[in-house]
Amino acid sequence: MKKSLFLICILMLVSAFAFAGGNKETISDDWAYIQDKGELIVGMTIFPPMNYYDDNGKLIGFETEFTEAVCEILGVTPKFEEINWDTKEIELSSQKIDAIWNGMTVTPERAEKVLFSTSYIRNMQVTVVKKANLADYDSKDDLTGKTIAAEVGSAGEGAARDQVKDASVISVAKQTDALLEVKAGTVDAAILDYTLAAAMTGDKGDYSDLAIAGEELYFAIEEYAVAFRLDSSLVPLVNDAIEELAKNGTLLDIAEKYDLTDQLLINQ
């Protein structure tokens, strides 16, 4: 009886290790996992000029075309999934998506949760206000006690909470929602990515009555990169593809199409 019980315990342990080993292989070897599927599931939000829909309902943008170019080199099909930005790392680690490719700001805190690719875009957090009120905002002190909108979980929200005195921060689902709040007059200002703000304010479209405040109200200089699961075997391959696209001019062509040439890091 004791011998039989001992053998059963040994078999259970062997089975447990075998299962753990198989599961670890599935999670850590991202390239084999993605090759087997034949597609790369990309998590993104609607974020002009990075990912957005044209008048015909087609998804376009710098990140969209950049992703497609990299996937063509890798020989897999990109599949874009709109996600909740506040839970992006959870969706990545749980394999609901395979990459976060949507103007993802590189930070030390995020680097503990994801593995970043080579950085490719220079960005910063900026303050957007109504054009009519632009003269009232000369420095960060002018934001003291103001109501500020920012995307939940974003670098803009972090800047609003950590670097503005006594601000009342309104967290919204998307950066474009932050612009809507300013336009509607429900907040005094929004803090968001320069790339989006520059594409949608000034003399452009529905937000022509909004403007980016001066450099005294800029926040941290940042870089964008693609985020993958920690220890992902895919990252070196993506980095090689990015280097190839930079060398053959494809990345520059895509940046020019979306007015991002000055922010492209290969041009810095």
User: What's the domain count of the chain?
Assistant: 2
Does 115 share its domain with 62? yes
Element (H, E) at 253: helix 250-257
Do you find a cis peptide bond into 49, omega within 30 degrees of 0? yes
Give the Cα separation of 265 and 218 in Å (integer): 19
Give the Cα separation of 143 and 136 in Å (integer): 10
Does 241 share its domain with 115? yes
Domain-located, residue 38:
yes
Does 27 share its domain with 115? yes
pLDDT of residue 6: 44
Does 146 share its domain with 191? yes
Does 168 share its domain with 247? no
Give the Cα separation of 133 and 129 in Å (integer): 7
CATH classification of the domain holding 97 = 3.40.190.10
Give the Cα separation of 186 and 170 in Å (integer): 10
Q: How many residues does the chain have?
A: 268
Domain-located, residue 8:
no
Closest to 199 measured CA to CA, from 263, 150, 246, 245: 263
pLDDT of residue 267: 67
pLDDT in tens, 180-194: 999 999 999 999 999
Spans of the chain below 50 pLDDT:
1-28
The boundaries of the domain holding residue 173 are 123-221
Does 115 share its domain with 25? yes
Q: 128 and 197 in contact (C-beta within 8 Å)?
A: yes
Domain-located, residue 6:
no
Residue 245: left if φ>0, alpha if ψ -120 to 50, beta else—which one?
alpha
| Stated pTM of the model | 0.79
Does 213 share its domain with 233? no
pLDDT of residue 184: 97
Give the Cα separation of 57 and 41 in Å (integer): 19
Domain-located, residue 15:
no
pLDDT of residue 206: 80
Dihedral of CA 156/160/161/164: which sign? Answer: positive
Does 202 share its domain with 231? no
pLDDT of residue 268: 59
Q: 123 and 105 in contact (C-beta within 8 Å)?
A: yes
Other Cβ atoms less than 10 A from the Cβ of 151: the count is 25
Domain-located, residue 62:
yes
In single-letter form, the type of residue at position 87 comes to: T
pLDDT of residue 261: 95
